[in-house]
Chain A
Amino acid sequence: MLYLESLAIQPKKIEIDMKKRSSSFINMFVTLAVVTLAASASLGFVYQLTKEPIAKAQLEKQKKAINEVLPGFDNDPIAAQFKLPIPESSDSLLFYPVIKGEQVLGHAIKTYSSKGYSGDIWIMLGMDQQGKVTQYAVLEHKETPGLGSKISAEQFREQFIGLLDEPEVTKDGGRIDAISGATISSRAVCEAIVKAQATWQQLADNN
């Protein structure tokens, strides 16, 4: 009888002991060490697992952008990429030659502006051999959703098609209608394009 009683009590006691580990220094130290170690190990694992798909998605995005600004090529522009320095700057831009058969259709230029509303704006600009803008595609931006984010809208982008001179918003005396409520973002796109045009000029001068 006594034996049974002690058996019945036993589990309860263990539960009380198990309830919480005391906050002794060693316990806290070990717990935090184990938790952070397990977290970093699992993150490293997931990182390795997603590394390839992420790189692939990025590449895919660039290819898609190039295809959007200069469609109909049959070479691999990303493999043929080269760098050109921006005039009067220490930075350089990436150029992707776009070729169909024997004919060079133009270049896709990955350019940016740091004058956006928040963070850098990266765009892929298409330029034909005459230096005419064919179209641009936004690669990355952190502008306000619903306002500055409209820089990727068709309505705004089509203003740049066929442009030979440097784009400027109407407020600054140019011909580009800025997005209402997002003049800064519109201006930044113009700046990025001007940067690419100036860099492209070197290519034209060399030929």
Chain B
Amino acid sequence: MKKQIDNRENFLKGFIRENPVFSLLLGLCPALGVTTTAINGLGMGLATTFVLLMSNVVIALIKNLIPDKVRIPSFIVIIASFVTIVDLVMAGYLPALHAQLGLFIPLIVVNCIVLGRAEAFASKNKVLASAVDALGMGFGFAFALTLLGAVRELLGSLSLFGVKLIPGDGLLVFVLAPGAFIALGFLVALVNWYKREEEKKGKSKKVAA
């Protein structure tokens, strides 16, 4: 029973409390680079989730076989292999999405979340827990990217998921890099405010009890 709660917590922490983009501020390069539209953000998030899941599972499986001093190069080789696999499979079977994201797929290798979770979690925990951690973090990342992409698409192109909502041109700045930073800043502030409110609620509950 306790283990189940742990898994649930482990999974849910990626969404708000330890969200890679909004709370840990990791993986900002793809987060700012690809999120010009919500679809791009979602695609990148899911591709990263896959890499994260596979590398976390493999690393958790073989963690005891890898000597400490060469663990980082080994992890990177494993991660890079999965990224290349994603790249090839996408090019073959999802050419339309690949044309959109192709540029950014190789960048998953240098995404600090993937190596970060391998180093901080998978190399110390069991396979199942690592898989749950990867899924939580991955979906949290995808959620953050989709949200950021949606905000930027809405303000920059006045559309959402490729559907034009309002005719016109939108604010060009949100399509460009500065808009990415501005939108991210506001979203991080929002998440911090939400976390503080939750904390307050938690405290008052404890007092009441």
Contact status B89-A57, CB under 8 Å: no
Tell me how many residue pairs across A and B have CB atoms closer than 8 Å: 84
Residues of chain B from 24 to 64 with CB closer than 8 A to chain A in the complex: 34, 36-37, 40, 64
Q: Taking the complex as formed, is B84 at the interface, i.e. its CB lies under 8 A from any CB of chain A?
A: yes
0 or 1 for each of A43-72: is its CB under 8 Å from B? (1 = yes) = 100110010111011101100000000000
Tell me if A39 is interfacial: C-beta within 8 Å of chain B. Answer: yes
A20 interface residue (CB < 8 Å to B):
yes
- Docked-complex contact A42 and B74, CB < 8 angstroms: no
| Interface segment, one of A95-103, A140-148, A163-171, A199-207 | A140-148
Can you list, as one digit per residue, whether each of B56-97 has a CB less than 8 Å from chain A (1) or not (0)? 000000001111111001100110110011001101110100
Q: Which residue of A lies closest to B80 (CB)?
A: A39
Inter-chain contact A46/B77, CB cutoff 8 Å: no
The residue in chain B whose Cβ has the minimal distance to the Cβ of A30 is B67
In the complex, identify which listed stretch (A21-29, A77-85, A108-116, A190-198) lies at the interface while the others stay far away.
Answer: A21-29
Majority-rule SS of B interface residues: helix
Count contacts on B: residues with CB < 8 A to the other chain: 32
Q: Is the interface on chain A under 10, 10 to 19, 20 to 34, or 35 or more residues? A: 35 or more
A47 and B68 in contact (CB under 8 A), knowing A31-B74, A60-B95? no
Kindly state the separation between the CA atoms of A21 and B176 in the bound complex, as whole angstroms. Answer: 48
Interface residues of B (CB under 8 A from A): 34, 36-37, 40, 64-70, 73-74, 77-78, 80-81, 84-85, 88-89, 91-93, 95, 99, 103, 156-157, 172, 175-176
Q: Write the chain B residue with the least CB distance to A24.
A: B67
Would you call A1 an interface residue if the criterion is a C-beta within 8 Å of the partner chain's C-beta atoms? no
Report if A147-B65 is in contact (Cβ < 8 Å); known contacts: A35-B74, A36-B77, A39-B80. no
Tell me, in angstroms, the Cα distance from A36 to B81 when the chains sit together: 9
Partner of B92 from the list A32, A53, A147 (CB cut-off 8 Å) is A53
If A39-B80, A57-B95, A145-B36 touch, whether A18 touches B64 (CB-CB below 8 Å) is yes
Cβ distance B86 to chain A, nearest Cβ, rounded Å = 10
**Closest CB of chain B to A38's CB: distance in Å?**
8
Question: Which of A43, A46, A53, A181 gathers most chain B CB within 10 Å?
Answer: A46
CB distance from A90 to the nearest CB of B (A): 29
On whether the beta carbons of A57 and B92 are closer than 8 Å, the reply is: yes
Give the distance in Å from the alpha carbon of A147 to the alpha carbon of B64 in the complex. 49
User: A32-B74, A39-B77, A42-B81 given as contacts; is B68 within 8 A of A23 (CB)?
Assistant: yes
